[in-house]
Chains A and B, each alone.
Chain A
Amino acid sequence: MIEFLNRLFGRQSSGATAKERLRLVLMSDHLSLAPDMIESMKADLVDVISRYVEVDRDRIDVHFEHQDKALAMLANIPITGVNRNGQTRHGEPVEPSPPTPRRKRKKRKTAAQNGAAPQTGSPAAAT
């Protein structure tokens, strides 16, 4: 009954808060314990973005942050060159590529495997 009223007024019990915090903290724990996975994801990410723009591979920063009720991946990828014709500076044509947003979301699902609820957080932001 109390649970029902709480739900009705959108209040969350402390048990539910604990569950949510646990899910997030374990996601970031598992990510930080899998540096190899992060490195290979970084490499994939750069490969995809490099199809469109030239990036400075040495200054790429990818990290994870708790944001409200989600874990977000933040990628800072300095761009060094863009060609107006949609070609890289080396003149290679841009290939039609698999849709990148889907790919990123896939990674996030892997990270969310340990949580029961599906992820609803903000998508990975390239700043």
Chain B
Amino acid sequence: MHQLQSEVQASAQSAALGRAIVITSGKGGVGKTTTTANLGTALARRGAKVALVDADVGLRNLDIVMGLESRVKHHVLDVLEEKVAADEALVRDKHTATLYLLAAAQTREKEDVDTEKMRALVESLRERFDFVLIDCPAGIEKGFRNAVVGAREAIVVCTPEVSAVRDVDRVVGLLGNDFAPQLIINRVRPQLVKKGKMLSVDDVNAILRLPLLGVIADEPEVIVSTNKGEPLALRNDGPTAAAYHAIAARVAGEDVPAPTVEYKESFMTKLGALFGGKR
């Protein structure tokens, strides 16, 4: 499987076209935008030229998570409707020179996007960037189709919840056989898994059966980074940043193990377990 992936990647590089990857999930609120921001940042810090495209027209958020909201002058619909050139609308990241953002339009609707023009836009970005990451909106309607149309690969983000797994299952069914979807399991709380109060990574993937890119823990530092508009992957320290860097390495074709989360038992949790607790 991994060998196959690196062959696919090698062929994409030799054709001098970048890889267009849609980040999707079906369900909202599982961390698609955070994943896009961090994966994009981590790939760019490896030296790749990366374009992030926010396909969530009407509910734009990727600029906020990237901390670029004040720099956005034009958006993806301006480009699709040929009001400005793509170069004018692409916002360069504050911290990483090879990272660019194409923001979504906030005051327009997903129905306003011409699906074929979206495909052409992503195609043209592939000529200039090593990676085009498309942040897909929640849902499976037109917004989803617009986000997927130009992509060749998919990364699906799932949380260990019944509803999220069900929606990912549906989305993977809709993607069909063409996108080689890979899985990121987000917001895992190892202490809850240990207590049997949360679906484990194995539980989730026993059902989805997708190649696992990695697991991200539900950590307060993720929220802090979103508050500040500084993706964690800008940092080199901390387990979550390390996990994003490992996922980026895997996406880039490096043979590193999928990051996972481990339960570290503290004295207090041991003490608490002795007396039992709510299930």
Contact of B195 with A2 in the complex, beta carbons under 8 Å: yes
Whose C-beta in chain A lies nearest to the C-beta of B209? A114
Q: A15-B200, A15-B203, A116-B206 are in contact. Are A22 and B166 (CB under 8 A)?
A: yes
Give the distance to chain B from A113, nearest Cβ to Cβ, in Å: 11
Q: Which of B109-129 contact A (CB under 8 A)?
A: none
Q: Which has the most chain B C-beta neighbours within 10 Å: A22, A26, A29?
A: A22
Give the distance to chain A from B9, nearest Cβ to Cβ, in Å: 30
The chain A residues found within 8 Å of chain B, CB to CB, are 1-3, 6, 11, 13-16, 18-19, 21-23, 25-26, 29, 33, 114-116
Contact of A15 with B193 in the complex, beta carbons under 8 Å: yes
The list of the 6 closest CB pairs from A to B, nearest first, reads A13-B196, A15-B196, A22-B162, A14-B197, A18-B162, A18-B199
Chain A residues whose CB sits within 8 angstroms of the CB of B198 once the complex forms:
15, 18
Give the distance to chain A from B219, nearest Cβ to Cβ, in Å: 20
Judge whether B7 is part of the interface by a CB distance below 8 angstroms.
Answer: no
Judge whether B279 is part of the interface by a CB distance below 8 angstroms.
Answer: yes
Contact of A23 with B200 in the complex, beta carbons under 8 Å: no
Q: Which of B169, B200, B206 touches A29 (beta carbons < 8 Å)?
A: B169
Whose C-beta in chain B lies nearest to the C-beta of A116? B206
Interface string of B173-214 (1 = CB under 8 A from A): 100000000000000000011011111100100110000000
Contact of A14 with B196 in the complex, beta carbons under 8 Å: yes
Judge whether B165 is part of the interface by a CB distance below 8 angstroms.
Answer: yes
